[in-house]
Amino acid sequence: MRKAYKFIGYLSIVFVMLAGITAGAGRTIDKLEFPPMNKIEMPEVDKVQLDNGIMLYILEDHELPIVRASVRLAAGDFLSPPDKVGLGDITGTVMRTGGTARMTGDEIDEALEAIGASVEVNIGATSGRAGMNILLEYADTGLEILADVLRTPRFDQDKIDLAKNQMRTEISSRNDDPFQVCVREFKKVIYGQESPYARHTEYSTVNGITREDMIDFHRKYISPENVMIAVWGDFKKEEMITKVKKYFEDWGKGAGLVPQLPEVKYEFKPGVYYAEKDNVTQSNVLIGHIGGLTGDPDFFALTVANNVLGGSFGSRMFNEVRSKKGLAYSTGGNFSSNISYPGIYYNYVITKLESTVEATEAVLHEIRRMQTDPPTEEELERAKSSYLNSFVFNFDSKGEIINRMMTYDYYDFPQDFLFTVKDKIEKVTAEDVVDVARRRFHPDEMKIVVVGKADQFDKPLSILGAVDTIDITIPSGEVEEEVVINEETLAKGMELLKLAADACGGVDNYMKVKAVSSESDVVLVLPQGEMAISASAISVLPDKSKEIMNTPMGEIITVTDGETGWMKQGPNVVDMTSEQIESSKKELFRNIMHLFQNLDNPEYQAVFVASEDFRGSQADIVKVMSADGAESFKLILDSETHMPIGKMFFGETMMGPGNLTQIISDYREISGIKVPFSVIIEADGKKSAEIKTKDLKINPEIPEGTFDKP
């Protein structure tokens, strides 16, 4: 502990010293003189077109005994149907992980690990990439694997399942970072909800993707006419051309060129959009409108104007909004552009909840001021230098150069474009900056997206304009099945529930239950293998509970009273989120003991669904629903004994929401009611957990302070 305090103290001294250095730097940096940059020498890249149309870019680089390859794929997730968003992304992933005609994915991993090499594939929103990094002596091995991955992927189902689970995990956590929420929703506001440039995966779109979809996507879009290959490294040019031809030239052409990227339709119109995030202490705000194209004649002046306003250290937004007014933890902006479709003009501010509107107004003020107040000589010089001083980093690796060359060729863009940018930016004047700001910045037609807690804002958001509320709730992806609801199915459903309650001890005995405690052993089935933990629980009906899980990572305590709750791990205590509270309510709704105590509650409906086989036993299936239909689960009853033998519902799994099945058995009588001591849980048909109860007590004495928060 002493060492820790000593280390923290040392860091404090360092930070104080740095503060002094940076404070002094502001007074002396302008006096520093720098020599002119060395002339940039562009490497000589050869282009060779293979017989099947693939353009090969080849560059000798003998600095290291390594060969690298980069493949540009014209295919992007923009080609995925609206109900299967993520198809392109997952296709790229499983092309690499799911094996080829010659090798399984695991065999590819082992072969590459043995020689310290890598082969990767990624398909993004508008295009894809594949790559190889390997020692010269293994170049043939790497090229052969790369060719196999691109040409003959076999899409093993287990790797598809794994990739889909990873996607579901990403969906489940997508609202964790409020700034990322702001960015995501801002893109929708700019491009449109359904635009390929803004849409994202949902549980339903991921669940709908099949192996056949991936095979079809690969067949249509991953073909020679949609592929460009670059290879650079320690080799002789002619020898490498021969190798590439060996593995790629007999690849037959496919279905043709991929469709063009969709056009962007945008209307300059103001709007304020608010997303509630109840567990934040600051607001995240994005302000802007559509951006531009990289080939736009205004690109050069816009680059400088952007740096004056918010794109560089010492910009107006940094100085005025953050430093002078103290309204932002962070602020800045960018007039972004793309070659193939317009980028986004955005300004951001991260501020205290209590200064949300004031900080937003301050940013808007600085945008307006750009249209009237020309940059000073110092501002103009700093804005240009921000770009020019980093210009050399466009050429700091051969891979960066050759990949940019492929992209420029694909879009018929001039290869000397970066040098044109440098020359044009050097010539931008203060008048050019004001002119382009007047024409291209639209401060009265800004889209404003705010993520925060409105009840703590300094002023109503409506001061900024009419407010649209954004719902960031993650759709569950549950597919509702058709259930016949009429007097007959309702009557039979309730009759079966009462028979089940009688079989388990009778409603009268259930009504005597005021509290329950239990000790259990739990085995979790994880992708890495099984993990054994122990768990204890205390419940005071109707809705107060405490659960303690002893895991390899330590003890985890969860306490809830149905409306609020908290969690503790080690010394850390945090309040449960609204999503976690809602999940605990759902679990209570599905609790059999709670159900049998509420058979006369009009909030419950029971609908007979069918009689069918369940794990080898004839069973009656009853769908239990809340009166408003918002909550439901299926209770599986043995047709002969009427004992509950299973539950089926859509709920949270370790990989995100999915279809869960509980297999219930080993009933034991305690205090007049029968309680199951064994529950096996399956997620989407695969075992995910097994719970074995060791001890259970009805109406135990509850120690004082059991539910108190530390």
- Which CATH number covers residue 139? 3.30.830.10
Tokens of 239: 């020898």
C-alpha span between 66 and 178 (Å, rounded): 41
DSSP state of 301: H
**pLDDT of 643:** 97
> Both 562 and 633 in a single domain?
yes
Residue recorded with tokens 């388990």: 504
Helix (H) or strand (E) run with residue 216 in it: helix 211-221
Q: Kindly compute the dihedral angle of the four CA atoms of residues 694, 700, 702, 707, in this order, to the nearest 10 degrees.
A: 50
> Both 554 and 626 in a single domain?
yes
Long-range contacts of 245-252 (CB under 8 A, 24+ apart): 245/50, 246/143, 247/143, 247/144, 247/146, 247/147, 248/50, 248/52, 248/54, 248/147, 248/224, 249/50, 249/51, 249/52, 249/54, 250/52, 251/52, 251/54, 251/147, 251/151, 251/223, 251/224, 252/52, 252/224
Q: Which of 403, 438, 470 is the last residue of a domain?
A: 470
Alpha carbon distance, N-terminus to C-terminus of the chain: 24
Q: Is 302 helix (H, G, I), strand (E, B) or coil?
A: helix
> Both 356 and 387 in a single domain?
yes
Tokens of 516: 């329950």
Walking along the chain (710 residues) 10 residues at a time, the average pLDDT comes out as: 34 32 39 54 88 96 95 97 97 98 97 97 97 97 98 96 90 93 98 96 94 98 97 96 97 94 96 94 97 95 95 90 95 95 97 98 97 96 87 81 94 93 94 97 97 97 97 83 89 96 96 96 88 95 93 93 92 88 90 93 91 95 89 95 95 79 96 96 90 96 93
**pLDDT of 36:** 55
> Both 629 and 494 in a single domain?
yes
> Both 622 and 499 in a single domain?
yes
Helix-helix angle 87-97:211-221, to 10 degrees: 90
What radius of gyration, in Å, describes the C-alpha atoms of the chain? 31
Pairing relationship of beta strands 544-551 and 529-540 according to DSSP bridges: antiparallel
Q: Kindly compute the dihedral angle of the four CA atoms of residues 157, 160, 161, 165, in this order, to the nearest 10 degrees.
A: 180
**pLDDT of 41:** 67
Helix (H) or strand (E) run with residue 431 in it: helix 430-440
Whether the Cβ atoms of residue 595 and residue 614 lie closer than 8 Å to each other: no
What DSSP line would sit under 461-495, residue for residue?
GGGGSPEEEE---------PPP---SHHHHHHHHH
> Both 529 and 671 in a single domain?
yes
> Both 465 and 496 in a single domain?
no
C-alpha span between 472 and 275 (Å, rounded): 7
C-alpha span between 572 and 556 (Å, rounded): 10
Q: Which of 248, 281, 311 is the last residue of a domain?
A: 248
> Both 275 and 217 in a single domain?
no
Query: Per the domain annotation, does 133 fall within a domain?
Result: yes
Residue recorded with tokens 């739990």: 522
For residue 96, count CB atoms less than 10 angstroms from its CB and return exposed for 0-12, middle for 13-18, buried for 19 or more: buried
Q: Which of 439, 470, 501 is the last residue of a domain?
A: 470
Closest CA to 273 of 457, 455, 471, 458: 471
CA dist 70 → 59, 92, 113, 475 (Å): 12, 14, 19, 37
What number of CA atoms fall less than 13 Å from residue 205's CA on the CB side? 20
User: Which residues form the domain of 310?
Assistant: 271-393+412-470
CB neighbour list of residue 243: distance below 8 Å, 6 or more residues apart: 139, 140, 143
Tell how far CA 624 is from the center of its chain: 34
> Both 298 and 244 in a single domain?
no
The CA angle 163-164-169, to the nearest 5 degrees, is 95
Whether the Cβ atoms of residue 77 and residue 196 lie closer than 8 Å to each other: yes
Share of the chain residues as helix, strand and coil, in percent rounded to the nearest 5: 40, 30, 30
Closest CA to 316 of 371, 358, 389: 371
> Both 312 and 433 in a single domain?
yes
**pLDDT of 477:** 77
Query: Per the domain annotation, does 354 fall within a domain?
Result: yes
C-alpha span between 676 and 253 (Å, rounded): 61
**pLDDT of 38:** 56
C-alpha span between 577 and 571 (Å, rounded): 19
Query: Per the domain annotation, does 206 fall within a domain?
Result: yes
C-alpha span between 663 and 308 (Å, rounded): 64
Helix (H) or strand (E) run with residue 179 in it: helix 178-191
Give the CATH number, domain containing residue 556. 2.50.20.10
Query: Per the domain annotation, does 685 fall within a domain?
Result: yes
> Both 227 and 291 in a single domain?
no
Tokens of 129: 């990439």
Whether the Cβ atoms of residue 79 and residue 199 lie closer than 8 Å to each other: no
C-alpha span between 232 and 510 (Å, rounded): 74
> Both 382 and 510 in a single domain?
no
The one-letter code for the residue type at 539 is: S
pTM of the predicted model as reported, rounded to 2 decimal places? 0.78
β-strand partners of 519: 536, 695
Closest CA to 441 of 317, 261, 264, 339: 317
Query: Per the domain annotation, does 20 fall within a domain?
Result: no
Overall number of domains in the chain? 3
CB neighbour list of residue 658: distance below 8 Å, 6 or more residues apart: 168, 650, 651, 683, 684
C-alpha span between 560 and 581 (Å, rounded): 8
Query: Per the domain annotation, does 705 fall within a domain?
Result: no
